[in-house]
Amino acid sequence: MFIIKSNQLITTLLIGLLLLGAKSLNAKDESLVQSIDPLVQTEVTYLFESEAELTLKEVTSPYMQSQFQEPGTTGLSFGWVDQPLWVKIKVKPPFPEKRLYLIVAWPLLDDISLHMLNKNGKVVSYHQAGDHYPFNKREIFDSNYVFSIPFDTGNIRTLYFRIKTTSSMQLPFSFISEQRYLKERAYHQTGQGFFYGLMAIMIFYSLFLYFSTRRLAYLHYVLFVASFTLLQAGLKGVGFQFVWPNLPALNDYAVATAGALSLLFLNLFARTFLQIQSEKTLVKINNVFLVIAGIFIFASLVLPYTWVIKPLAVSVIVSAFVVIGMAVYRYKQGFREARFYLLAWVAMVIGSVTYLFKQLGFLPVNLFTENSMQIGAGLEMLLLSLALADRLNTLRSELESTNLNLEKQVEDRTLELREAMENLEAANLVLEELSATDKLTGLKNRHHFDTTLSLELNRIKRNNDYLSLLLIDIDHFKSVNDTWGHVVGDRALRFVSDCLRKVVRRDIDKICRYGGEEFAIILPTTPKEGALAVAESIRRSVDSNDFVDQGNKFSITISVGVATTTQDINCNLEELIRAADIALYNAKSDGRNCTHLFLGDIKNDVDYDKKLSERFELEKLN
């Protein structure tokens, strides 16, 4: 009778604490939404190092910049990967005018290097952090990584993170003002205090029940809650912050060993609570997981963290579903307490599996996935306490109704999100096309040209194919502008663009406005003979069609330089452009309105600068 009343008291206390925790969580959620300063607009891209370690200078080179890519649907969450990660955060105007905090809400990153660059691309500040360094080396005393960003004095424009870790690779970051940071930190600490307070209540209460009833299930539950609490302290960085701040080597051991102990006591608790001793098949399955847990406990103490944590995470997921299956089986056999256990552990498993899927990179990092394991644990304790107080019937009917409503809401929300994503994808395609197009001529612009030519050069290195480049310059264009004005000059550019489109029609060929009165055409899989034929067709097309503007007839001609490369030549972007430019110089020198093919050494033409200077002088004279 006393135990039943104690159950009711503990249940009431847990409900009160969970309601307070929910209020704290809601407040924290609102703060989190506001924490990203509305004045900070960013463009985020990332790059994984392939083999050699990259320096900041190498990462900021034009070629490496073109290799950065935007995050996918899971954001900056990639699961367990071996390669170091570079993340570029480009601040977009309007630029902040005050100092802000940059929070990285993932304590298990081993090594973080942060480079802050000003508007001139110079490094104005550098920070290094990670859980492989003593805690007192951090700039701000926080379980997460917090960096002070001097937007007010440093003209910060770009941030580069280099991250190397044996844990899950993810970078959930946000910018926040100092005032909001202090408020959010208070909510966070309050929420964590409620969680660890719940853990302590359940440990001592279950110990009391064990000594009162001598049921082994309560002892196993105490050991599970204790190991799970240690696991959470490691995952959230709380243990490193308060318990072992000067022993960073313990971080990996704490997570791996506590995870293995949680796996062991989870299965022991299932064995005793569900009373499966008479079920030989269930006992054998349970024994397998007990042996696996024992192996992981030993391995976590002697093997590297990265070798242990991946198979351990998979084992925990599999074990969780096996335990639920055992509960379902026992419930169908008529074991009444199994339904209480089942509901409690479904909540726990959903939270744990959600968290592990976030670790593996299958789910994005957000407020729910980051705290799903703690949320699941809190619900699990509440449900077990309700089970001990024999109040599950009412709760189960409420949960069934809630689940139906939730499924409907999820279905409706999923449909809305799918439609929104389709609209967003369509808009992104339009924006991408606009960003790569020259407004005057409708051709692809110089940025698209550089990107496409780099990709084609990489392709021929793999496929041993031809690649030709045409550089085209309108003859005497300066005199057209000087005599008839820039409006007529713009129409002349559009006239030449139309002539180019009529001749160059393959989908793989790219016509680009190179700059001013110059155009460039990329011809993949085209040898020099084919490129010369295309160039001559273009020249004749422009020469044979008169440009007429408001009754005035103009004779427009062009000069074309042709350069062709192959895998054997192995030239880079600058060398191929230089070769085509030399050929264009020769065409200009040969009287204009003609086509020339580059016949020299594409990698070692020492007269390029001289010829380019002469071409500019020739243009001025004419």
127 shares a domain with 89: yes
Domain assignment present for residue 542? The answer is: yes
Whole-number Cα distances in Å, 428 to 320, 432, 433, 442: 41, 6, 8, 19
48 shares a domain with 15: no
- 28-38 pLDDT, tens digit each: 333 333 334 55
95 shares a domain with 139: yes
Catalytic residue among 517, 529, 574, 575: 517
Report residue 233 as tokens: 């302290």
373 shares a domain with 260: yes
Domain assignment present for residue 183? The answer is: no
Structural domain harbouring 125: 38-176
Secondary structure (DSSP) of 427-463: HHHHHHHHHTB-TTTSSB-HHHHHHHHHHHHHHHHHH
- 371-384 pLDDT, tens digit each: 787 788 778 777 76
142 shares a domain with 110: yes
216 shares a domain with 149: no
pLDDT of residue 127: 93
Domain count, the chain: 3
The arrangement of strands across the sheet holding 111-118 comes to 41-48, 85-92, 156-164, 111-118, 123-129
209 shares a domain with 170: no
130 shares a domain with 99: yes
Q: Which amino acid is at 548?
A: V
240 shares a domain with 159: no
**Residue closest to 494 by CA, chosen among 429, 533, 545, 449:** 545
199 shares a domain with 141: no
Q: CA–CA separation, 245 vs 180, rounded Å? A: 26
What is this structure's pTM? 0.53
Q: CA–CA separation, 444 vs 455, rounded Å? A: 15
pLDDT of residue 330: 87
pLDDT of residue 200: 87
The ranges of the chain with pLDDT < 70 are 1-39, 358-361, 365, 367, 384-399, 420, 423, 425-434, 605-622
pLDDT of residue 431: 67
Of 390, 415, 431, which marks where a domain is finished? 390
Domain assignment present for residue 187? The answer is: no
- 237-269 pLDDT, tens digit each: 888 888 888 888 888 788 899 999 999 998 998
Catalytic residue status for 517: yes
386 shares a domain with 289: yes
166 shares a domain with 119: yes
Domain assignment present for residue 606? The answer is: yes
Q: Which amino acid is at 74?
A: T
